[in-house]
């Protein structure tokens, strides 16, 4: 296989195929267990709790580590065998993104662009200026990166990931720790990325996936628990989610003993309990609309029971 990936034409669908990936670290932790996924154009949400194996999978796709077994294909390109070719079409924003704190955004982007192979000065200048405007950092482009807020650093992170017009973009936990305003800015920025690109959004924040991703997967324990569209996943729970208020610890214990509790939330000092049931459980429960958090927590709960 030659290490060259073909240029997309028109709206041709791209494909990232992950086939039977496993990874066990030296300390005995098995982070991935024969995990397989197929990811196409646009935004794909990879949803799972901390320790689910998301970052291990992202680093493997980004060619930063090898799996113990399995393969990854970007169209017809074998990712493990053609790492340099993959890196030329890859944009990556890891969970921990470091910068030179005394450099400003313009100089840092130029430095990273050269490292990415954009050697033509005019082309590099055009890309850097366009990305600073796209990420709303143009007015602070001369400010040192150490003076950036958390949200500004994340927007700079996606700017560097977009250098070279990549075909595969990976962002790992990009909104963790951001305030609501910065989170919205970042999500709007991600949603503006072109359609002829595979974008993987790895997160434990359900709303990020609900707002952005046409397709998603839930993983835990290094395995895929569910794959599909958010709407398809919600349809599976339609008419099966019920809720009631619980007023005491004793009542809560009773509910947990007799019903399939998905989640609880404090409301005016009382517990709002959500349960899964094939038919009305009675006992004061009322039917409610399912949401993506119900899908997420129900799949995690079933996984925990199975292991």
Question: What CATH number is given to the structural domain containing 32?
Answer: 3.40.50.300
Distance of CA 290 to the CA centre of its chain: 22
Pair 270, 188 in one domain: no
Q: Is residue 294 part of a domain?
A: no
DSSP type of residue 138: G
Q: Is residue 305 part of a domain?
A: no
Q: What domain count does the chain have?
A: 2
Q: Is residue 204 part of a domain?
A: yes
Q: Is residue 176 part of a domain?
A: yes
Please state, in angstroms and as integers, the Cα–Cα distance from residue 143 to each residue in 124, 125, 148, 149, 153, following that order. Answer: 20, 18, 8, 11, 12
Q: Is residue 208 part of a domain?
A: yes
Pair 269, 204 in one domain: no
- pTM of the complete model: 0.86
The pLDDT of residue 12: 54
Residue with tokens 């669908």: 13
How far the first Cα of the chain sits from its last, in Å, is: 40
Q: What are the structure tokens assigned to 19, written together?
A: 């086939």
Pair 248, 120 in one domain: no
The pLDDT of residue 159: 92
Pair 32, 134 in one domain: yes
* Domain that includes residue 74, residue range: 16-229
Pair 275, 143 in one domain: no
pLDDT values of the chain reduced to their tens digit, one per residue, 307 residues: 333 333 433 445 678 999 999 999 999 999 999 999 999 888 999 999 999 999 999 999 999 999 999 999 999 999 999 999 999 899 999 887 777 889 999 999 999 999 888 999 999 999 999 999 989 999 999 999 999 998 899 899 999 999 998 989 999 988 888 888 888 888 888 888 866 788 999 999 998 898 889 999 999 999 999 999 999 999 999 999 999 999 888 999 999 999 999 999 988 888 899 999 999 998 899 999 999 999 999 999 999 988 7
- Phi, psi (rounded to 5 degrees) for 110: -65, -40
């Amino acid at each position: 296989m030659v290490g060259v990936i073909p240029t997309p034409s028109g709206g041709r669908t791209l494909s990232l195929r992950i086939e039977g990936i496993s990874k066990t670290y030296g300390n005995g932790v098995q982070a991935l267990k024969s995990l397989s996924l197929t990811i196409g154009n646009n935004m794909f949400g990879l949803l799972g709790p901390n320790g689910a194996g998301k970052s291990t999978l992202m680093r493997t796709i980004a060619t930063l580590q090898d799996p113990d077994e399995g393969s990854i294909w970007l169209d017809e390109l074998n990712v493990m065998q053609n790492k340099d070719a993959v890196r030329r079409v890859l944009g990556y924003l890891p969970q921990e993104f470091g910068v030179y704190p005394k450099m400003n955004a313009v100089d840092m982007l130029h430095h990273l662009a050269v490292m990415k192979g954009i050697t033509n000065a005019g082309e590099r200048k055009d890309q850097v200026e366009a990305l600073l405007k796209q990420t709303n950092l143009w007015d602070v482009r001369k400010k040192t990166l150490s003076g950036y807020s958390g949200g500004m650093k994340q927007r700079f992170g996606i700017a560097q990931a977009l250098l070279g017009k990549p075909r595969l973009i990976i962002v790992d936990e990009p909104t963790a720790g951001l305030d609501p305003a910065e989170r919205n800015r970042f999500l709007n920025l991600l949603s503006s990325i072109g359609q002829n690109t595979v974008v993987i959004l790895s997160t434990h924040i359900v709303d990020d996936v609900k707002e952005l991703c046409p397709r998603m997967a839930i993983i835990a324990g290094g395995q895929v628990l569910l794959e599909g569209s958010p709407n398809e996943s919600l349809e599976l729970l339609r008419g099966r989610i019920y809720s009631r208020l619980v007023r005491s610890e004793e009542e809560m214990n009773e509910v947990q003993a007799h019903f399939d509790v998905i989640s609880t939330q404090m409301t005016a000092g009382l517990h709002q309990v959500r349960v899964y049931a094939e038919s009305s459980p009675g006992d004061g429960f009322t039917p409610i609309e399912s949401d993506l958090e119900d899908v997420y927590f129900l799949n995690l709960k079933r996984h925990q029971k199975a292991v």
